[in-house]
Structure 1
């Protein structure tokens, strides 16, 4: 009797792609959370509209904002020249 190979979904290329997309999304969510936390730790209020922008931003934008947030004294120090794709 010939052995039949079982191809489980979790081993399929589609499943691997979905997992990787989830990992990237998770990293972006954590980076966004950390950016807001840094601003709040520095005593900078983060309004809802800015939180929406942060939630929509990609990793490159979040990295840029996080770098600015470390030394920011106000929200404008971080959010000036916001790339269009991050605007709600």
Structure 2
């Protein structure tokens, strides 16, 4: 089981600075598509880095990723508002 270290990703030692930055942009713009995040000048990370950040944030229970279709580019990210109850097992 992944330990949830705090109720906010800024205190989570398992996240990178890029992960935290992506979280904050999602918090400001939610719901936001992956494509919109890639086009946001504030995100300024490579596509692969964004995908890894989204995956880590989802695994840690900070965001929810909805797939509108089978196309992975159509992911919509929102905050998981009850993060402490969303801890997941690996």
Q: Which has the higher helix share?
A: 1
TM-score by length of 1: 0.23
> Bigger relative contact order, structure 1 or 2, given CA contacts below 8 A and separation 6+?
2
Please state which structure has a larger fraction of its residues in strand.
2
Q: Whose radius of gyration is greater, 1 or 2?
A: 1
